[in-house]
Structure 1
């Protein structure tokens, strides 16, 4: 319980201490206005194709238009007067945060503090266990279907459109201060990038994909290689002075959406710091925040999801 003695007006020094204690207990952003944007377009609000005929059906992909319409309405409702703003999202929303970060910054006054925070949006362009690039093939279909390539003109001069849809490439041109939160053993990426169903017809990885505690020594070695690939992909971003990171060694996906993993007595910690504390330190420029965990199973504070329990 935090507060001051009833009937007494606290000194300025005591009051400032109380405010700092309250912020630490509740988190820096507990009293902010929050807007949740529903994800519905299939390409992280980046598609812009007038029409596409698929099996005789005319499809329209206007994710970019949806983004612009939502931002336009929010600006009218008060966003334009913000002194501080944080664009964030998880999973496909995390990828959308990478894609639209600088656009978001450009909408707000120069005097405003504007930053971006992506949770579980740093999808790796890695080969699966069969040696194929399943995720790049999937991205290629999405980029072509929705005409996403036009969103990345600088990248297109260097590589094919599907590669430009990965956060590793997008972040190279982002100038707005950015924070990346990712589990080194992101269970979604393990299930759909490292070991998609097509690469494991015998289902030898089924139990491991459901819970990291069920992985055998060879599978754990493969997972450690995936973690190493993630850290290697983040090495350039790590040098950015305005960048922040929290890469824990948990078997998780989207850790900022739940108060249990975001900021609670049982939240995952690196160097005794929760995700919320790390993001707060970075956003408010209290200290440089680039937290990288040691390899699994070193962190006893991790909340490791057991998907076998969820499917029962």
Structure 2
């Protein structure tokens, strides 16, 4: 997302991800034939899933002649976690530091920054509804990474969070209750999005983070008898709308597979 001209003299850090993204796309178009593509798909996982959301319309702008340009965010729907004990402050502070460090304010969607602080426009919940390109959200409402960075640091009276976030069977009853509060908050955040018919959803209750690059893609996980692969395929080729959200499992599920 960043495009900072000045190089940090102490660290020699080049904060130019925006330029890199542009160069990669241009290379694919000029030398790999992507300029003639009829179908294109931008996919990212975790931080890359967030970057996919933020770059989705920009990606589409490179391919105005393509018939079908869409984006998939895998485990990139990071929530601000409003009403979750301490988590909102932790998440907001984390994103504020990222926006300031990479000088991202000018590159975030104006539709959001005109009404909210820049760091809040780094949260998908505040920008997804403004994205014009069809977007698929693949996520867990028990996102293991978000639970680890949001909840564990804000539960000082609960010991053993490292064990709990690594293995569900190690969680105490109170820890599981707090984790279930995260699911409630995640689903409420998801409900605030506009009802866009071009958006796809596959929201599982697995205690997991990242799906596409693991064997889940091969059919080990289903919602309403659809695998992730089938759901994405139906959505991408517009065979049917896909809005699959697991609201039946109120406790996290151990869905671990071999990477």
CA distance in 2, matches of 1:134, 1:223: 16
Query: Of the candidates 110, 113, 117, which is equivalent to residue 156 of structure 1?
Result: 113
Shift of 1:172: 2.2
Indicate the SS of the match to 1:181: strand
CA distance in 2, matches of 1:61, 1:84: 31
Indicate the SS of the match to 1:194: helix
Counterpart of 1:184 in structure 2 is: 141
Query: Of the candidates 188, 211, 218, which is equivalent to residue 263 of structure 1?
Result: 218
The superposition leaves residues 160-210 of structure 1 with CA deviations (integer Å, 9 ceiling, x where unpaired) of 1111111111212101111100011111111112223x7548643222211
| Long gaps (5+) in structure 2 | none
Two-structure CA RMSD over aligned residues (Å): 2.4
| Long gaps (5+) in structure 1 | 1-45
Query: Of the candidates 76, 93, 101, which is equivalent to residue 145 of structure 1?
Result: 101
Could you list the structure 1 runs, at least 4 aligned residues long, displaced by more than 3 angstroms after superposition.
Answer: 56-59, 127-132, 198-204, 296-299
Structure 1 residue 87 corresponds to structure 2 residue 42? yes
Matching of residues 265-284 of structure 1 within 5 Å: 267-284=220-237
8 A Cα contact 1:249 1:295, kept in partner: yes
Structure 1 residue 67 corresponds to structure 2 residue 24? no
User: 122-131 vs 142-151, which deviates more?
Assistant: 122-131
The verdict on how the C-alpha distance between 1:243 and 1:115 changes in structure 2, with shifts beyond 3 A counting, is: same
Shift of 1:283: 0.7
CA distance in 2, matches of 1:69, 1:298: 41
Matching of residues 122-133 of structure 1 within 5 Å: 122-126=77-81, 129-130=85-86, 133=89
CA distance in 1, matches of 2:38, 2:68: 6
Indicate the SS of the match to 1:134: helix
Shift of 1:297: 4.2
8 A Cα contact 1:155 1:169, kept in partner: yes
8 A Cα contact 1:250 1:296, kept in partner: no
Counterpart of 2:57 in structure 1 is: 102
The superposition leaves residues 7-40 of structure 1 with CA deviations (integer Å, 9 ceiling, x where unpaired) of xxxxxxxxxxxxxxxxxxxxxxxxxxxxxxxxxx
CA distance in 2, matches of 1:93, 1:298: 24
Counterpart of 1:78 in structure 2 is: 33
Structure with bigger gyration radius: 1
Counterpart of 1:242 in structure 2 is: 198
CA distance in 2, matches of 1:243, 1:121: 15
8 A Cα contact 1:129 1:195, kept in partner: no
CA distance in 1, matches of 2:132, 2:229: 23
Provide TM-score, normalisation by structure 2.
Answer: 0.89
8 A Cα contact 1:52 1:145, kept in partner: no
The verdict on how the C-alpha distance between 1:82 and 1:133 changes in structure 2, with shifts beyond 3 A counting, is: same
Counterpart of 2:161 in structure 1 is: 205
